[in-house]
Amino acid sequence: MQLAQKIIVADDHPLFRTALQQAVSQIAPDAEIVQAESLPELQTVVEGHTDTDLILLDLNMPGAHGYSGLVFLRSHYPEIPVMVVSACEDPAVMCQAIDHEASGYIAKSSSLEEISAAIGEVLKGDIYLPKQARQHQHAPDTVSMDLAQKLASLTPQQFRVLTMMSEGMLNKQIAYDLEVSEATIKAHVTAIFRKLGVRTRTQAVIAVQTLDIERNDLASDPVGEAE
């Protein structure tokens, strides 16, 4: 088979990025590895590497709310497969990642050989899920999926603005960081409100938090709902 030649490793922990590079080298020794430490950096990296063959994505990077980074990547770069590599081992979270169009999911606790094999499966065009996820009885989270569709309608710049809003940044701060006028940011915020169906910044941030893993853990746990 033809193995990928360019892979983006997106994780905020340097040691684990190194481990992922080692896993990649076992299955694709000649691959070019590009790194990102946060969701905003990942956005910039992907824009400059649209010929990427695979993205290895940590769900809990700075700037991300659970599946938000995955949703962004799948909506704007549908031709690039994304494999989630996460510390979370909940089968429901694994299945929900596939609902959001991930091409695979592997736990960080897996051995280097297991991670390498999983990467190989995804590079062949298959979907990889650990055994416990394949055996899990799963129903899609309709609330999360609805929000994902709305997020997918945002432009990359609007998504950046929303990410910064969720971190508590004001329009003036966002404008400075993105090197645009405050009026431009206000226009983006207005468009974000319209697309998400909200009226305030607080409502927009709460909407994004719908994709948080912790919330989805509770939503998928009948016992947790009853307590």
Give, in order, the Cα–Cα distances in Å from 92 to each of 87, 97, 152, 215, 220: 14, 9, 22, 12, 7
Instruction: List, in sequence order, every residue forming a beta bridge with 128; answer none if it has no partner.
Output: 104
**What domains does the chain contain, in order, with CATH numbers?**
4-133 (3.40.50.2300), 140-209 (1.10.10.10)
Predicted model pTM: 0.81
Q: What is the pLDDT along the chain (227 residues), one digit of tens a residue?
A: 454 489 999 999 999 999 999 999 999 899 999 999 999 999 999 999 999 999 999 998 888 888 999 999 999 999 999 999 999 898 888 989 999 999 999 999 999 999 999 999 999 999 999 887 777 666 667 777 888 889 889 999 999 999 999 888 999 999 999 999 999 999 999 999 999 999 999 999 888 887 776 544 434 443 333 32
Report long-range pairs for 30-35 (Cβ below 8 Å, ≥24 apart): 30/3, 30/5, 31/3, 31/4, 31/5, 31/6, 31/7, 32/5, 32/6, 32/7, 33/7, 33/8, 33/9, 34/6, 34/7, 34/8, 34/9, 35/8, 35/9, 35/10
Contact 35, 53 (CB under 8 A): no
